[in-house]
Structure 1
Amino acid sequence: MTYYDRYKNGECREVCSELLAMGTAVRDSAVVEDAAAVAREFVSRAVRNVKQIHSRLLGLGYAFRRPKKALVVREEPCYREVNAFEREMGTLPLVVREWYARVESLDFGQSEDQFRQSDSDLKGLEWHYELLVWSLDEAMLAWAELKEQHQELREHYRREKMNLYQEDPVPCLITGGCASNNDSDGFSLPCLEFDAVKREDGESLTYTDFFRKAFQYGGFPVLTCHDQYLKQHTSLYPRPNIERLLPLLTQDIIAL
Protein backbone atom coordinates (compact mmCIF):
# COMPACT_ATOMS: atom_id res chain seq x y z
CA MET A 1 0.00 0.00 0.00
CA THR A 2 1.35 3.45 -0.87
CA TYR A 3 1.94 6.21 1.65
CA TYR A 4 -0.86 8.14 -0.02
CA ASP A 5 -3.30 5.24 0.34
CA ARG A 6 -2.34 4.84 3.99
CA TYR A 7 -2.83 8.56 4.57
CA LYS A 8 -6.28 8.48 2.95
CA ASN A 9 -7.16 5.45 5.07
CA GLY A 10 -6.56 7.36 8.29
CA GLU A 11 -2.87 6.86 9.12
CA CYS A 12 -2.27 10.58 8.82
CA ARG A 13 0.17 11.23 11.65
CA GLU A 14 1.99 7.95 11.12
CA VAL A 15 2.58 8.58 7.42
CA CYS A 16 3.75 12.17 7.92
CA SER A 17 6.11 11.07 10.69
CA GLU A 18 7.57 8.27 8.55
CA LEU A 19 8.11 10.57 5.58
CA LEU A 20 9.76 13.21 7.77
CA ALA A 21 12.01 10.55 9.33
CA MET A 22 13.35 9.73 5.84
CA GLY A 23 15.12 13.08 5.71
CA THR A 24 16.38 13.91 2.23
CA ALA A 25 15.78 10.31 1.11
CA VAL A 26 12.15 11.33 0.61
CA ARG A 27 13.35 12.84 -2.69
CA ASP A 28 14.47 9.46 -4.01
CA SER A 29 12.72 8.55 -7.26
CA ALA A 30 10.98 5.55 -5.70
CA VAL A 31 9.33 7.71 -3.02
CA VAL A 32 9.06 11.35 -4.07
CA GLU A 33 5.86 11.16 -6.16
CA ASP A 34 4.05 9.23 -3.44
CA ALA A 35 5.30 11.68 -0.78
CA ALA A 36 4.25 14.67 -2.89
CA ALA A 37 0.76 13.16 -3.20
CA VAL A 38 0.57 12.94 0.60
CA ALA A 39 1.71 16.57 0.87
CA ARG A 40 -0.97 17.68 -1.61
CA GLU A 41 -3.66 15.79 0.31
CA PHE A 42 -2.48 17.27 3.61
CA VAL A 43 -2.62 20.78 2.15
CA SER A 44 -6.00 20.15 0.51
CA ARG A 45 -7.43 19.23 3.91
CA ALA A 46 -5.73 22.17 5.60
CA VAL A 47 -7.16 24.54 3.00
CA ARG A 48 -10.65 23.17 3.54
CA ASN A 49 -10.28 23.72 7.26
CA VAL A 50 -8.97 27.29 7.03
CA LYS A 51 -11.70 28.22 4.55
CA GLN A 52 -14.33 26.85 6.90
CA ILE A 53 -12.93 28.64 9.95
CA HIS A 54 -12.51 31.86 7.96
CA SER A 55 -16.17 31.73 6.87
CA ARG A 56 -17.38 31.11 10.41
CA LEU A 57 -15.24 33.92 11.78
CA LEU A 58 -16.76 36.30 9.25
CA GLY A 59 -20.22 35.16 10.35
CA LEU A 60 -19.31 35.84 13.97
CA GLY A 61 -18.12 39.33 13.15
CA TYR A 62 -14.43 38.64 13.75
CA ALA A 63 -12.28 41.68 12.91
CA PHE A 64 -9.21 40.48 11.02
CA ARG A 65 -6.04 42.49 11.51
CA ARG A 66 -5.38 42.39 7.75
CA PRO A 67 -8.65 41.45 6.03
CA LYS A 68 -7.16 41.34 2.53
CA LYS A 69 -4.37 39.02 3.71
CA ALA A 70 -6.54 36.90 6.02
CA LEU A 71 -7.00 34.14 3.46
CA VAL A 72 -6.04 34.18 -0.21
CA VAL A 73 -6.45 30.71 -1.74
CA ARG A 74 -6.16 29.23 -5.22
CA GLU A 75 -8.69 26.54 -6.04
CA GLU A 76 -6.08 24.63 -8.03
CA PRO A 77 -2.33 24.40 -7.37
CA CYS A 78 -0.14 26.90 -9.22
CA TYR A 79 3.62 26.42 -9.00
CA ARG A 80 4.86 29.43 -10.98
CA GLU A 81 5.64 31.62 -7.95
CA VAL A 82 6.91 28.64 -5.95
CA ASN A 83 9.31 27.63 -8.73
CA ALA A 84 10.60 31.20 -9.02
CA PHE A 85 11.15 31.37 -5.26
CA GLU A 86 13.01 28.05 -5.24
CA ARG A 87 15.29 29.13 -8.10
CA GLU A 88 16.37 32.18 -6.11
CA MET A 89 16.32 30.89 -2.52
CA GLY A 90 16.53 27.10 -2.57
CA THR A 91 14.28 24.05 -2.52
CA LEU A 92 11.25 24.00 -0.20
CA PRO A 93 10.14 20.92 1.74
CA LEU A 94 7.32 19.05 0.03
CA VAL A 95 4.55 20.14 2.41
CA VAL A 96 5.56 23.81 2.29
CA ARG A 97 5.90 23.71 -1.50
CA GLU A 98 2.36 22.36 -1.83
CA TRP A 99 1.08 24.90 0.68
CA TYR A 100 2.35 27.83 -1.34
CA ALA A 101 1.00 26.32 -4.54
CA ARG A 102 -2.49 26.64 -3.02
CA VAL A 103 -2.33 29.46 -0.46
CA GLU A 104 -0.98 32.90 -1.18
CA SER A 105 -1.58 34.31 2.30
CA LEU A 106 -2.97 33.27 5.70
CA ASP A 107 -3.33 35.66 8.63
CA PHE A 108 -6.06 35.14 11.23
CA GLY A 109 -4.63 37.89 13.43
CA GLN A 110 -7.24 39.94 15.31
CA SER A 111 -7.59 43.71 15.27
CA GLU A 112 -6.35 45.37 18.44
CA ASP A 113 -9.68 47.13 19.03
CA GLN A 114 -11.68 43.91 19.02
CA PHE A 115 -9.03 42.03 20.98
CA ARG A 116 -9.78 44.30 23.95
CA GLN A 117 -13.49 44.96 23.27
CA SER A 118 -15.10 44.22 26.63
CA ASP A 119 -18.59 43.47 25.32
CA SER A 120 -17.57 41.05 22.54
CA ASP A 121 -17.61 37.24 22.73
CA LEU A 122 -14.51 37.42 20.50
CA LYS A 123 -12.39 39.58 22.80
CA GLY A 124 -8.93 38.21 23.46
CA LEU A 125 -9.39 35.42 20.94
CA GLU A 126 -5.98 35.70 19.33
CA TRP A 127 -3.94 35.80 22.55
CA HIS A 128 -0.43 34.30 22.25
CA TYR A 129 -0.96 32.39 19.00
CA GLU A 130 -1.25 33.40 15.36
CA LEU A 131 -2.61 31.22 12.58
CA LEU A 132 -0.24 32.96 10.24
CA VAL A 133 1.81 32.03 7.18
CA TRP A 134 3.14 34.98 5.23
CA SER A 135 2.99 35.17 1.46
CA LEU A 136 6.18 34.43 -0.47
CA ASP A 137 6.46 38.14 -1.28
CA GLU A 138 6.35 39.01 2.42
CA ALA A 139 8.86 36.25 3.16
CA MET A 140 11.24 37.69 0.56
CA LEU A 141 10.94 41.16 2.11
CA ALA A 142 11.71 39.71 5.53
CA TRP A 143 14.77 37.93 4.09
CA ALA A 144 15.98 41.17 2.47
CA GLU A 145 15.65 42.98 5.81
CA LEU A 146 17.55 40.18 7.56
CA LYS A 147 20.41 40.41 5.04
CA GLU A 148 20.56 44.18 5.46
CA GLN A 149 20.72 43.87 9.24
CA HIS A 150 23.43 41.23 8.92
CA GLN A 151 25.50 43.52 6.69
CA GLU A 152 25.12 46.42 9.12
CA LEU A 153 26.30 44.23 11.99
CA ARG A 154 29.20 42.94 9.88
CA GLU A 155 30.38 46.49 9.19
CA HIS A 156 29.94 47.46 12.83
CA TYR A 157 32.09 44.59 14.10
CA ARG A 158 34.69 45.18 11.41
CA ARG A 159 35.09 48.72 12.69
CA GLU A 160 35.39 47.33 16.20
CA LYS A 161 37.99 44.82 14.94
CA MET A 162 35.87 41.91 16.14
CA ASN A 163 35.48 38.73 14.11
CA LEU A 164 31.69 38.50 14.25
CA TYR A 165 29.05 38.26 11.50
CA GLN A 166 31.75 37.69 8.88
CA GLU A 167 29.99 34.77 7.19
CA ASP A 168 27.18 35.40 4.73
CA PRO A 169 23.70 34.74 6.15
CA VAL A 170 22.14 31.42 5.19
CA PRO A 171 19.06 31.78 2.95
CA CYS A 172 15.86 31.08 4.83
CA LEU A 173 12.10 31.17 4.54
CA ILE A 174 10.64 33.46 7.22
CA THR A 175 6.94 32.71 7.50
CA GLY A 176 5.61 35.10 10.14
CA GLY A 177 4.91 34.60 13.81
CA CYS A 178 7.51 33.91 16.46
CA ALA A 179 8.35 31.72 19.41
CA SER A 180 8.04 32.93 23.01
CA ASN A 181 11.70 34.05 22.86
CA ASN A 182 10.84 36.22 19.82
CA ASP A 183 12.79 34.08 17.34
CA SER A 184 11.04 34.35 13.99
CA ASP A 185 9.23 31.32 12.58
CA GLY A 186 11.02 29.81 9.62
CA PHE A 187 13.84 27.56 8.49
CA SER A 188 17.03 27.50 6.45
CA LEU A 189 17.11 26.72 2.74
CA PRO A 190 17.45 24.55 0.81
CA CYS A 191 15.35 21.97 2.68
CA LEU A 192 14.90 18.69 0.82
CA GLU A 193 12.79 16.95 3.44
CA PHE A 194 9.06 16.23 3.60
CA ASP A 195 8.40 18.89 6.24
CA ALA A 196 10.33 21.54 8.18
CA VAL A 197 10.35 22.99 11.68
CA LYS A 198 8.29 26.18 11.72
CA ARG A 199 8.99 27.07 15.33
CA GLU A 200 11.34 26.11 18.16
CA ASP A 201 9.61 26.96 21.43
CA GLY A 202 10.58 24.40 24.01
CA GLU A 203 9.85 21.75 21.41
CA SER A 204 10.12 21.58 17.64
CA LEU A 205 6.87 22.39 15.86
CA THR A 206 6.75 21.28 12.23
CA TYR A 207 4.30 22.73 9.74
CA THR A 208 2.13 19.61 9.88
CA ASP A 209 2.04 19.82 13.69
CA PHE A 210 1.46 23.58 13.56
CA PHE A 211 -1.72 23.12 11.55
CA ARG A 212 -2.91 20.14 13.58
CA LYS A 213 -2.55 22.14 16.77
CA ALA A 214 -4.37 25.09 15.27
CA PHE A 215 -7.30 23.07 13.94
CA GLN A 216 -7.68 21.10 17.15
CA TYR A 217 -8.76 24.38 18.75
CA GLY A 218 -10.61 25.93 15.84
CA GLY A 219 -7.57 28.01 14.92
CA PHE A 220 -7.15 29.51 18.40
CA PRO A 221 -5.49 27.39 21.11
CA VAL A 222 -6.29 30.14 23.61
CA LEU A 223 -9.79 28.68 23.70
CA THR A 224 -8.53 25.84 25.86
CA CYS A 225 -5.46 27.30 27.58
CA HIS A 226 -6.98 30.65 28.58
CA ASP A 227 -8.38 29.64 31.96
CA GLN A 228 -5.32 27.56 32.81
CA TYR A 229 -2.75 30.30 32.20
CA LEU A 230 -4.49 33.64 32.37
CA LYS A 231 -6.70 33.73 35.46
CA GLN A 232 -4.13 35.97 37.12
CA HIS A 233 -3.99 38.28 34.07
CA THR A 234 -7.66 38.84 33.30
CA SER A 235 -7.25 42.62 33.23
CA LEU A 236 -4.56 42.32 30.52
CA TYR A 237 -6.05 39.48 28.48
CA PRO A 238 -9.84 39.52 28.14
CA ARG A 239 -11.51 36.12 28.13
CA PRO A 240 -13.38 35.16 24.93
CA ASN A 241 -16.65 33.25 25.17
CA ILE A 242 -14.97 29.83 25.04
CA GLU A 243 -18.14 27.85 25.63
CA ARG A 244 -19.79 29.39 22.57
CA LEU A 245 -16.85 29.70 20.20
CA LEU A 246 -15.00 26.40 20.55
CA PRO A 247 -17.86 24.12 19.32
CA LEU A 248 -18.60 26.48 16.43
CA LEU A 249 -15.01 26.71 15.19
CA THR A 250 -14.10 23.03 15.56
CA GLN A 251 -17.25 21.52 14.06
CA ASP A 252 -16.55 19.36 10.97
CA ILE A 253 -12.79 19.98 11.00
CA ILE A 254 -11.02 17.34 8.90
CA ALA A 255 -8.21 15.31 10.46
CA LEU A 256 -4.73 15.91 9.05
Structure 2
Amino acid sequence: MTLLNRYIGGEHKAVWAELLAGVDKDRQPIADADAEAVASETMRRVRANIETIAARLSATGYEFGVYPDGEPIPFSVATLGDTDAADDKTRAFTQLVGALPLSLRAFYRHVGGVCLAGRYGDGETWQGADALWVEPLDTDYIAEQFADWENNVAEYGAEEMGAFMFEFAPDDLHKDNISGGAPYGIELPQGAADAFVANEWHGTTFVDYLRICFRWGGFPGFAREGSMPPQIAVLRESLLPI
Protein backbone atom coordinates (compact mmCIF):
# COMPACT_ATOMS: atom_id res chain seq x y z
CA MET A 1 0.00 0.00 0.00
CA THR A 2 1.38 3.42 -0.93
CA LEU A 3 1.99 6.17 1.59
CA LEU A 4 -0.79 8.19 -0.03
CA ASN A 5 -3.26 5.32 0.30
CA ARG A 6 -2.29 4.86 3.93
CA TYR A 7 -2.74 8.59 4.52
CA ILE A 8 -6.15 8.64 2.86
CA GLY A 9 -7.02 5.54 4.87
CA GLY A 10 -6.53 7.41 8.13
CA GLU A 11 -2.85 7.00 9.07
CA HIS A 12 -2.31 10.75 9.02
CA LYS A 13 0.10 11.16 11.92
CA ALA A 14 1.99 7.93 11.24
CA VAL A 15 2.59 8.79 7.59
CA TRP A 16 3.83 12.30 8.42
CA ALA A 17 6.12 10.87 11.10
CA GLU A 18 7.62 8.59 8.46
CA LEU A 19 7.99 11.49 6.02
CA LEU A 20 9.85 13.44 8.69
CA ALA A 21 12.11 10.45 9.36
CA GLY A 22 12.70 9.92 5.64
CA VAL A 23 11.91 6.19 5.82
CA ASP A 24 8.65 4.24 5.80
CA LYS A 25 7.44 1.74 8.40
CA ASP A 26 9.62 -0.93 6.76
CA ARG A 27 12.65 1.37 7.08
CA GLN A 28 12.80 1.88 3.32
CA PRO A 29 13.70 5.31 1.88
CA ILE A 30 10.68 7.33 0.75
CA ALA A 31 10.65 8.45 -2.87
CA ASP A 32 10.23 12.18 -3.48
CA ALA A 33 7.11 11.58 -5.59
CA ASP A 34 5.44 9.63 -2.76
CA ALA A 35 6.25 12.35 -0.23
CA GLU A 36 4.97 15.08 -2.54
CA ALA A 37 1.72 13.18 -3.14
CA VAL A 38 1.02 13.04 0.59
CA ALA A 39 1.95 16.68 1.11
CA SER A 40 -0.32 17.78 -1.73
CA GLU A 41 -3.26 15.78 -0.40
CA THR A 42 -2.65 17.20 3.07
CA MET A 43 -2.66 20.79 1.89
CA ARG A 44 -5.71 20.27 -0.34
CA ARG A 45 -7.48 19.24 2.86
CA VAL A 46 -6.07 22.26 4.67
CA ARG A 47 -7.46 24.53 1.95
CA ALA A 48 -10.87 22.83 2.10
CA ASN A 49 -10.97 23.21 5.88
CA ILE A 50 -10.06 26.89 5.67
CA GLU A 51 -12.81 27.47 3.11
CA THR A 52 -15.30 25.67 5.36
CA ILE A 53 -14.32 27.64 8.47
CA ALA A 54 -14.35 30.96 6.60
CA ALA A 55 -17.83 30.26 5.21
CA ARG A 56 -19.15 29.29 8.65
CA LEU A 57 -17.66 32.41 10.23
CA SER A 58 -19.13 34.64 7.53
CA ALA A 59 -22.56 33.08 8.04
CA THR A 60 -22.49 34.14 11.70
CA GLY A 61 -21.53 37.77 11.07
CA TYR A 62 -17.79 37.49 11.64
CA GLU A 63 -15.73 40.39 10.28
CA PHE A 64 -12.39 39.42 8.73
CA GLY A 65 -9.44 41.70 8.18
CA VAL A 66 -9.54 43.58 11.49
CA TYR A 67 -7.97 43.12 14.89
CA PRO A 68 -10.31 42.79 17.89
CA ASP A 69 -9.92 46.55 18.47
CA GLY A 70 -11.07 47.32 14.92
CA GLU A 71 -7.69 48.25 13.45
CA PRO A 72 -7.20 46.80 9.94
CA ILE A 73 -5.06 43.74 9.23
CA PRO A 74 -3.03 43.74 5.98
CA PHE A 75 -4.79 40.64 4.57
CA SER A 76 -7.59 38.30 5.52
CA VAL A 77 -9.16 34.87 5.11
CA ALA A 78 -7.47 32.77 2.43
CA THR A 79 -5.19 33.88 -0.34
CA LEU A 80 -5.93 30.77 -2.33
CA GLY A 81 -3.11 29.05 -4.15
CA ASP A 82 -2.25 29.68 -7.79
CA THR A 83 0.09 26.84 -8.74
CA ASP A 84 2.15 28.73 -11.33
CA ALA A 85 2.51 31.87 -9.22
CA ALA A 86 3.27 29.83 -6.10
CA ASP A 87 5.95 27.82 -7.88
CA ASP A 88 7.57 31.00 -9.20
CA LYS A 89 7.61 32.57 -5.73
CA THR A 90 8.91 29.40 -4.11
CA ARG A 91 11.67 29.16 -6.70
CA ALA A 92 12.70 32.76 -6.05
CA PHE A 93 12.54 32.15 -2.31
CA THR A 94 14.74 29.05 -2.39
CA GLN A 95 17.28 30.72 -4.67
CA LEU A 96 17.64 33.42 -2.04
CA VAL A 97 17.30 31.58 1.28
CA GLY A 98 17.75 27.90 0.49
CA ALA A 99 15.52 24.85 0.81
CA LEU A 100 11.97 25.06 2.14
CA PRO A 101 10.40 22.11 3.98
CA LEU A 102 8.03 20.07 1.81
CA SER A 103 5.10 20.97 4.05
CA LEU A 104 5.58 24.71 3.47
CA ARG A 105 6.12 24.29 -0.27
CA ALA A 106 2.87 22.34 -0.51
CA PHE A 107 1.05 24.89 1.66
CA TYR A 108 2.02 27.77 -0.57
CA ARG A 109 1.12 25.85 -3.71
CA HIS A 110 -2.33 24.69 -2.58
CA VAL A 111 -3.38 27.32 -0.02
CA GLY A 112 -1.29 30.46 -0.39
CA GLY A 113 -2.01 32.11 2.94
CA VAL A 114 -4.64 32.46 5.62
CA CYS A 115 -5.67 34.87 8.36
CA LEU A 116 -8.74 34.04 10.43
CA ALA A 117 -8.23 36.91 12.87
CA GLY A 118 -11.21 39.24 13.18
CA ARG A 119 -14.23 40.05 15.31
CA TYR A 120 -18.01 40.03 15.30
CA GLY A 121 -19.93 43.08 14.13
CA ASP A 122 -21.81 43.28 17.43
CA GLY A 123 -18.53 43.98 19.22
CA GLU A 124 -17.90 40.42 20.42
CA THR A 125 -14.15 39.82 20.40
CA TRP A 126 -12.15 36.65 20.84
CA GLN A 127 -9.13 37.82 22.82
CA GLY A 128 -6.51 35.11 23.15
CA ALA A 129 -7.99 33.02 20.33
CA ASP A 130 -4.62 32.81 18.53
CA ALA A 131 -6.34 32.63 15.13
CA LEU A 132 -4.81 30.53 12.37
CA TRP A 133 -2.54 32.85 10.42
CA VAL A 134 0.09 32.02 7.78
CA GLU A 135 1.21 34.97 5.70
CA PRO A 136 1.53 34.65 1.91
CA LEU A 137 5.01 34.55 0.41
CA ASP A 138 6.18 38.11 -0.17
CA THR A 139 9.54 37.66 -1.86
CA ASP A 140 10.44 41.36 -1.73
CA TYR A 141 9.84 41.54 2.02
CA ILE A 142 11.69 38.27 2.62
CA ALA A 143 14.63 39.55 0.57
CA GLU A 144 14.82 42.58 2.87
CA GLN A 145 14.67 40.35 5.96
CA PHE A 146 17.35 38.05 4.57
CA ALA A 147 19.63 40.98 3.70
CA ASP A 148 19.26 42.31 7.26
CA TRP A 149 20.12 38.86 8.63
CA GLU A 150 23.18 38.58 6.38
CA ASN A 151 24.38 42.01 7.52
CA ASN A 152 23.93 41.01 11.16
CA VAL A 153 25.81 37.76 10.57
CA ALA A 154 28.66 39.72 9.01
CA GLU A 155 28.74 42.08 11.99
CA TYR A 156 28.05 39.76 14.92
CA GLY A 157 28.89 36.29 13.59
CA ALA A 158 26.81 33.26 12.64
CA GLU A 159 26.96 31.74 16.12
CA GLU A 160 25.49 34.88 17.67
CA MET A 161 22.75 35.35 15.06
CA GLY A 162 21.73 31.74 14.50
CA ALA A 163 19.90 30.51 11.42
CA PHE A 164 17.68 32.72 9.29
CA MET A 165 14.14 32.72 10.72
CA PHE A 166 11.30 32.73 8.20
CA GLU A 167 8.53 34.48 10.13
CA PHE A 168 5.08 33.43 8.93
CA ALA A 169 2.75 34.76 11.64
CA PRO A 170 2.62 37.13 14.59
CA ASP A 171 2.48 35.56 18.03
CA ASP A 172 -0.82 35.15 19.90
CA LEU A 173 -0.61 38.60 21.54
CA HIS A 174 0.25 40.51 18.37
CA LYS A 175 -2.74 38.81 16.72
CA ASP A 176 -4.83 40.78 19.21
CA ASN A 177 -2.88 43.96 18.33
CA ILE A 178 -1.14 43.82 21.71
CA SER A 179 2.62 44.01 22.20
CA GLY A 180 3.92 40.48 22.63
CA GLY A 181 6.76 38.17 21.73
CA ALA A 182 8.63 36.95 18.68
CA PRO A 183 6.70 35.88 15.57
CA TYR A 184 6.00 32.24 14.78
CA GLY A 185 8.67 31.08 12.38
CA ILE A 186 10.76 28.30 10.90
CA GLU A 187 14.55 28.23 10.69
CA LEU A 188 15.82 27.98 7.13
CA PRO A 189 17.20 26.45 5.01
CA GLN A 190 15.58 23.08 5.72
CA GLY A 191 14.90 20.43 3.12
CA ALA A 192 13.06 17.97 5.36
CA ALA A 193 9.41 16.98 4.96
CA ASP A 194 8.32 19.19 7.85
CA ALA A 195 9.90 21.56 10.36
CA PHE A 196 9.61 22.74 13.94
CA VAL A 197 7.69 25.99 14.47
CA ALA A 198 9.69 28.34 16.68
CA ASN A 199 8.09 30.64 19.27
CA GLU A 200 4.69 28.90 19.03
CA TRP A 201 3.44 27.61 22.36
CA HIS A 202 2.61 24.05 21.31
CA GLY A 203 6.24 23.32 20.41
CA THR A 204 5.47 21.23 17.35
CA THR A 205 5.89 20.97 13.59
CA PHE A 206 4.09 22.99 10.91
CA VAL A 207 1.72 20.19 9.87
CA ASP A 208 0.88 19.37 13.46
CA TYR A 209 0.34 23.08 14.17
CA LEU A 210 -2.28 23.13 11.40
CA ARG A 211 -3.80 19.95 12.82
CA ILE A 212 -4.13 21.57 16.25
CA CYS A 213 -5.66 24.70 14.73
CA PHE A 214 -8.40 22.69 13.05
CA ARG A 215 -9.08 20.79 16.27
CA TRP A 216 -10.15 24.19 17.63
CA GLY A 217 -11.99 25.42 14.57
CA GLY A 218 -9.06 27.62 13.54
CA PHE A 219 -8.64 29.22 16.97
CA PRO A 220 -6.27 27.07 19.09
CA GLY A 221 -5.92 29.71 21.80
CA PHE A 222 -9.16 28.46 23.33
CA ALA A 223 -7.35 25.27 24.34
CA ARG A 224 -5.86 27.21 27.26
CA GLU A 225 -8.69 29.66 27.93
CA GLY A 226 -10.70 27.23 30.07
CA SER A 227 -13.85 27.87 28.06
CA MET A 228 -14.73 28.46 24.43
CA PRO A 229 -17.45 30.29 22.53
CA PRO A 230 -20.29 28.06 21.33
CA GLN A 231 -19.33 28.85 17.72
CA ILE A 232 -16.17 26.73 18.00
CA ALA A 233 -18.15 23.48 18.11
CA VAL A 234 -19.78 24.44 14.81
CA LEU A 235 -16.54 25.63 13.20
CA ARG A 236 -14.67 22.40 13.86
CA GLU A 237 -17.49 20.01 13.02
CA SER A 238 -16.65 17.47 10.30
CA LEU A 239 -13.41 19.14 9.18
CA LEU A 240 -11.16 16.92 7.10
CA PRO A 241 -8.46 15.15 9.14
CA ILE A 242 -4.89 15.95 8.17
Pairwise TM-score range, normalised by the shorter structure: 0.7 to 0.9
Q: Quick one: distance in 2 between partners of 1:42 and 1:166?
A: 38
Q: CA deviation at 1:14?
A: 0.7
Q: Quick one: distance in 1 between partners of 2:61 and 2:95?
A: 41
Aligned pairs for 1:166-245 within 5 A: 166-167=157-158, 170-178=163-171, 182-201=181-200, 204-227=203-226, 242-243=229-230, 245=231
Aligned pairs for 1:68-83 within 5 A: 68-74=75-81, 78-83=86-91
Q: Structure 1 residues 68 and 203 mapped into 2: Cα distance closer, same or farther (>3 Å)?
A: closer
Q: CA deviation at 1:200?
A: 4.0
Show the counterpart of 2:110.
Answer: 102
Q: Quick one: distance in 2 between partners of 1:10 and 1:72?
A: 28
Show the counterpart of 2:176.
Answer: none
Between Structure 1 and Structure 2, whose CA radius of gyration is higher? 1
Question: Contact 2:167–2:185 at 8 Å: present in 1 too?
Answer: yes
Deviations 1:145-179 (A, max 9, x none): 47437747976xxxxxxxxx234764342211237
Q: CA deviation at 1:61?
A: 1.5
Q: Structure 1 residues 79 and 143 mapped into 2: Cα distance closer, same or farther (>3 Å)?
A: closer
Q: Structure 1 residues 201 and 104 mapped into 2: Cα distance closer, same or farther (>3 Å)?
A: closer
Show the counterpart of 2:134.
Answer: 133
Show the counterpart of 1:31.
Answer: 31
Q: Quick one: distance in 2 between partners of 1:43 and 1:63?
A: 25
Question: Contact 2:166–2:187 at 8 Å: present in 1 too?
Answer: yes
**Structure 2 gap ranges (5+):** 67-72, 174-179
**Identity between Structure 1 and Structure 2 (%):** 25
Question: Contact 1:106–1:133 at 8 Å: present in 2 too?
Answer: yes
AA aligned opposite 1:175:
F
Number of residue pairs aligned between Structure 1 and Structure 2:
222
Q: Quick one: distance in 2 between partners of 1:52 and 1:173?
A: 28
Q: Quick one: distance in 1 between partners of 2:91 and 2:39?
A: 16
Q: Quick one: distance in 1 between partners of 2:92 and 2:13?
A: 31
Higher deviation after alignment, 60-69 or 183-192: 60-69
**Structure 1 gap ranges (5+):** 156-164, 229-239
AA aligned opposite 2:81:
R
Q: CA deviation at 1:102?
A: 1.9
Deviations 1:36-55 (A, max 9, x none): 11100110101100011011
**Alignment RMSD, CA only?**
3.1
Show the counterpart of 2:43.
Answer: 43
Aligned to 1:79, what secondary structure does the other structure show?
helix
Question: Contact 1:108–1:130 at 8 Å: present in 2 too?
Answer: yes
Q: Structure 1 residues 173 and 61 mapped into 2: Cα distance closer, same or farther (>3 Å)?
A: same
Q: Quick one: distance in 2 between partners of 1:129 and 1:224?
A: 10
TM-score where L is the length of structure 1? 0.74
Aligned pairs for 1:110-149 within 5 A: 110=118, 114=120, 120=123, 123-137=124-138, 141=141, 144-145=144-145, 147-148=147-148
Question: Contact 1:143–1:171 at 8 Å: present in 2 too?
Answer: no
Q: CA deviation at 1:183?
A: 2.7
Q: Structure 1 residues 150 and 84 mapped into 2: Cα distance closer, same or farther (>3 Å)?
A: closer
AA aligned opposite 1:72:
T
AA aligned opposite 1:195:
D
Question: Contact 1:20–1:193 at 8 Å: present in 2 too?
Answer: yes
Q: Does 1:246 align with 2:232?
A: yes
Q: Quick one: distance in 1 between partners of 2:239 and 2:142?
A: 32
Which residue, out of 87, 95, 108, partners 2:95? 87
Q: Structure 1 residues 149 and 88 mapped into 2: Cα distance closer, same or farther (>3 Å)?
A: closer
